[in-house]
Amino acid sequence: MIGVPNLYENQKSLVYSRPRNSQHLFMDSILAIDYGLFEWINHGWQSDWLDAIMPWWRNKTTWIPLYLLAVALLIWRYRLQCIPLLLLIGLTIGVSDLTSSQLIKKTVQRARPCNETTLNPPARIVAGCGGGYSFPSSHATNHFALATLLFLTWGRLWGRWRNVLLLWAASIALGQVYVGVHYPIDICIGALLGTLIGFSAALLYRKSSRFRIAEFYPSTPIA
């Protein structure tokens, strides 16, 4: 497997070939590490079984049956009580997607690694490259927003199993790097942004005592 330090050295020439001054040195170093980590994951983790799984795993349509099952369980258990939560989930995903894909991406306009011609070696494209820009990852933003909101609401009843929500979001985000459509910084910032949006939505839900499901917030804290 390729080592990260070697990748960092390999990418220095790509970053430092651009005109720069002392104010750019920090960003140049971050980008060099970003390129190195991308190559490590995209090339260094290469395996036949990941090539087969990751394009399917990181595809948002893969999880539609799970989403439908979750909605059905909420409706079955809480009836009309769950309607505000379902509406909040939809609003949260809408805000996270709008923020990442429309506001930030179109402002930063960072090319996807699969469209970047200066990478050496070039990105290994496991799934289709797709259109649009790279920073931040909307997949990471949306899935972390959803995972965080559920983690802090319905997930309070799951005990330690609710940690699976965050692992699920992280695995989908990493899949974006593995298949060659995002850099590590894209998914990290997307994860932070999504977590912030999901946390804000969960806080709003908790404070809305009239609309929240009381079972999620018992008088004694849930570990």
Q: Do the Cβ atoms of 41 and 174 come closer than 8 Å?
A: yes
Q: What is the pLDDT of residues 85-120, one digit of tens each?
A: 999 999 999 999 999 999 999 999 999 999 988 888
Distance (Å, whole) CA 39 – CA 148? 29
The predicted structure's pLDDT at residue 90: 97
Neighbour count for residue 77 (Cβ, 10 Å): 13
Confidence of residue 34 (pLDDT cuts 50, 70, 90): very high
Confidence of residue 55 (pLDDT cuts 50, 70, 90): very high
Q: Provide the strand spans (E) within the chain.
A: none
Query: How far is residue 125's CA from residue 182's CA, in Å, rounded to a whole number?
Result: 11
Give the integer Cα–Cα distance in Å for 133 and 131: 7
| Residues 135-162 pLDDT 10s | 999 999 999 999 999 999 999 999 999 9
What global pTM score does this model have?
0.87
Q: Which of 164, 146, 149 is nearest to 60 (CA)?
A: 146
- pLDDT band at residue 8 using 50, 70 and 90 as cut-offs: very low
